Amino acid sequence: MKQLMMIGFGAMGREVASLLPDELVLKWLLVSPARVDEVQAELGPSVRVLSHIDECDQAPDLVVECAGQGAVREHGARVLTKGWTLGLISVGALADDELLQSLRIAAQQGGGRILALAGAIAGVDGLAAAREGGLESVVYSGRKSPQSWRGSPAEALIDLDAVTEPTVFFRGSAREAALRFPANANVAATVALAGLGMDNTRVELTVDPASSSNKHSILAQGRFGELSIELSGQPLASNPKTSTLAALSVVRACRHCTDTVLI
């Protein structure tokens, strides 16, 4: 039986925990110190709830982050220094060059690996393949309801209560999007890492009052041809800012940890 450490236990963490493959057991859960007793009481003795990486005296087969970009900054380097594999869902954190460099150094020193998970989008495998032989342009577009943008910097760019039709409120690079919208633009960073990089991937973010789903699209062109992907994903009922598919991509990484045939 393989063992999992999870960082974070909000809406996404609960979804992932409920769908783990039988061959992988949640052994350690990392939360803030203020939540340790509460979460430990909820989960019981089968899971050890921690507030610091160093409290784990064994080696997890996989560590998955489900807690946001702040958790990547706080715990990522320590996980990698220990030689563990870290699956990141908050890929937007890697738009910070200083953080990315520190994680690379930690991985090189400790022997750990970073897995940037696909999250709420499909097609990153094709995009990464196209990059190997002449990828020329990549545009990512994200469209969400006003509710999904609440609590984000979008509120300073557009009046979410007054929007009556689909409205683009941000155009820029994937790096700008990931740094300005840390809870909403992880997909932009994932697309960038798979393709042309943070500064050469163009991003458009839209608020759509008629939308009941989170809509993502990728348009890429190059020597390989043209790739066009559109995905309409449902948010988790418990958190409209979190895509159900993003949680499922974490589950997929957990299944890869146990399967012998990987796709």
Asked whether the predicted pLDDT for residue 27 surpasses 80, the reply is yes
Asked whether the predicted pLDDT for residue 54 surpasses 80, the reply is yes
pLDDT at residue 212, as a whole number = 84
Chain centre distance of CA 48: 24
Q: What is the pLDDT of residues 80-105, one digit of tens each?
A: 999 999 999 999 999 999 999 999 99
* Contact indicator for 259, 28 with CB cutoff of 8 Å: no
Asked whether the predicted pLDDT for residue 241 surpasses 80, the reply is no
Asked whether the predicted pLDDT for residue 240 surpasses 80, the reply is no
Helix (H), strand (E), coil (C) string for the chain: CEEEEEECCCHHHHHHHHCCCCCEEEEEEECCHHHHHHHHHHHCCCCEEECCHHHCCCCCCEEEECCCHHHHHHHHHHHHHCCCEEEECCHHHHHCHHHHHHHHHHHHHHCCEEEECCCCCCCHHHHHHHHCCCEEEEEEEEEECHHHHCCCCHHHHCCCCCCCCCEEEEEEEHHHHHHHCCCCCHHHHHHHHHCCCCCCCEEEEEECCCCCCEEEEEEEEECCEEEEEEEEECEECCEEEEEHHHHHHHHHHHHHCCCCCCC
pLDDT at residue 17, as a whole number = 96
Q: Which residue has the higher pLDDT, 239 or 172?
A: 172
Tokens of 13: 């963490």
| Helix pair 244-256, 11-18: axis angle to 10 deg | 40
Residues forming beta bridges with residue 142, ordered by sequence position: 205, 216
Q: Which amino acid is at 259?
A: D
Point out the residues that are catalytic. Answer: 216
pLDDT at residue 6, as a whole number = 98
